[in-house]
Structure 1
Amino acid sequence: MTGPHGLHLHTEGSGPAVLWLHGYTMDSTVWQPLWRLLPGHTHIGVDLPGHGRSAPLTPGLTLPELAAQLADIARETGARRVVALSFGSTSALQLALQEPDLVERLVLAAPTLAGTPNEDSARLRYRQLMMLHRLTGPGEQLADLWMQSPPDIFTGTLRHPALRASLRAVVARHGWAELGNRAMDALTAHRHTPDDLRRITARTLVVVGDEDMPAFVRNGELLRDTLTDARLLTLPETGHLPLLERPETLAPTLAQHLA
């Protein structure tokens, strides 16, 4: 269904509501294997702007504005729990610090802080995607380039061929309009400071893979040391997408944290 602000919501289950925010070039369908392991909740997957079945990402949309849109969804659905992965965690952090009374439980996997240094290989790959988009337009060639290593965003999925194939199908249907209109610029211009992060009151679980890129490992350690109520969980033999790579391993911990 379409929720506030033209954002598509994929809803399953019954019980306390949990808001799920996916990574860049993904959509809410990636959560279904994990949702099946977490009965007793109403799972609400949000297709972020420009992703999945949501409205296109509007050039000029800022991170605080996106967080305000997500806050409207949280209020409308009664969701007080938020689970986010990679790019989605940037929005989740902004939501939690902007509306601290709205978010009670927070899960941040491969945490991505706005304005912190990214991996050089990721910046290079994004520039390559923009160049390829100018030459060829959208298509599967962009998905194949995006999933190459480095950067090691999808490297951990090499251990899980079925997962890798399903993610490739999701990424292949991404529209990539942001490469042409630079609509991501305003979102990524924001910066999370330590003082910002200290405004978050939610009980927080930070999840990183031990084989993730150094920038995201550092982000996890920073959140553990900065937030008022945060625990850091490091998963062995896991890359940048721990919630997708290790759903069976993480499900009991997530169930306990979200209870």
Structure 2
Amino acid sequence: QFPEVVAERVVGVALVGTSSGKLGEVSYGLPVVGVNAVRRVLPAVLKVLGQRADLVEKGRRATADLFAGIIKRYSFASRDVDPAVARFAERMIESTPIDVVAEFYPAFQEHEKTEAIERFAQLPVLVLAGDQDLVTPSEHSEAIAGLLPDAELVLVPDAGHLVMLEHPEAVTDRLADLLSRTGAVPAGATVGSYGDTAQPGS
């Protein structure tokens, strides 16, 4: 919306596990029949659930183990993800009220920012994703990089949507490299070379 502000104030851009559009076409790893059914009924279901938030929250607590499995599947690709990290992701996602989810879900379907991506063409850009992300598939990151020929594209192997929690060193090293390209930190900086200025997941 404000390209002049970007030009004046932004020295580098990191786009991690994201998309510039066409999220309505994502299959979430489901077969075609399943994903079509989900697309048909989910908006209405979320709307109803959002109106009965108190009841839904009680149900979420009662089915916590089931939700934990679903959250893990859609957050991580590694089989050996640290249980503490998995629990952190569960708590983070479960703490989002269902009425909030119901309100923001339609925005995913309408999200279309392909033209806006080109505003970053003159800046150092990192485009990074997990290669097995089921929420914003890595093809979406490849599409963004295709619009920004000078961008660094990194697809982290054996990583899902929460790549910054699953492989924090890989993500933070790439962010450190981006910062050094902008001149914000010395060249060659890594995760451990400049203290706590860039924590994994930041």
Fold agreement, TM-score > 0.5: yes
**Aligned with 1:171 (options 71, 93, 105):** 93
Shift of 1:138: 3.2
The TM-score with structure 2 as length reference comes to 0.62
Size of the aligned set, in residue pairs, is 163
Confirm or deny that 1:245 pairs with 2:166: yes
Partners of 1:162 and 1:188 lie apart in 2 by 32
Partners of 1:190 and 1:237 lie apart in 2 by 27
1:153–1:240 contact (8 Å) kept in structure 2: yes
How do 1:206-217 and structure 2 match up within 5 A? 206-213=127-134, 216-217=137-138
**Aligned with 2:141 (options 211, 220, 227):** 220
Matching residue of 1:106: 13
Q: Which has the higher contact order (CA 8 A, sep 6+)?
A: 2
1:130–1:179 contact (8 Å) kept in structure 2: no
1:108–1:207 contact (8 Å) kept in structure 2: yes
2:19–2:144 contact (8 Å) kept in structure 1: no
Confirm or deny that 1:236 pairs with 2:142: no
Q: Which has the higher helix share?
A: 2
Q: Give the aligned residue type for 1:238.
A: A
> CA 1:99–1:191 in structure 2 vs 1: closer, same or farther (change >3 Å)?
farther
Q: Give the aligned residue type for 1:257.
A: L
Structure 2: unaligned runs, 5 residues or longer:
30-34, 181-202
1:211–1:237 contact (8 Å) kept in structure 2: yes
Shift of 1:251: 2.2
1:152–1:212 contact (8 Å) kept in structure 2: no
> CA 1:179–1:149 in structure 2 vs 1: closer, same or farther (change >3 Å)?
closer
The TM-score with structure 1 as length reference comes to 0.50
Q: Which has the higher strand share?
A: 1
Q: Give the aligned residue type for 1:247.
A: P
**Aligned with 2:119 (options 199, 202, 206):** 199
Q: Give the aligned residue type for 1:105.
A: G
The list of structure 1 runs, each at least 4 consecutive aligned residues, that deviate by more than 6 angstroms after superposition, is: none
> CA 1:214–1:199 in structure 2 vs 1: closer, same or farther (change >3 Å)?
same
Shift of 1:121: 3.9
How do 1:62-211 and structure 2 match up within 5 A? 99-101=5-7, 102-121=9-28, 124=38, 127=43, 129-130=46-47, 132-134=49-51, 136-139=55-58, 141=60, 144=64, 148-149=69-70, 152-156=73-77, 159-179=81-101, 182=103, 185=106, 189-193=110-114, 195-200=115-120, 201-211=122-132
Shift of 1:189: 2.7
SS in 2 for 1:196: helix
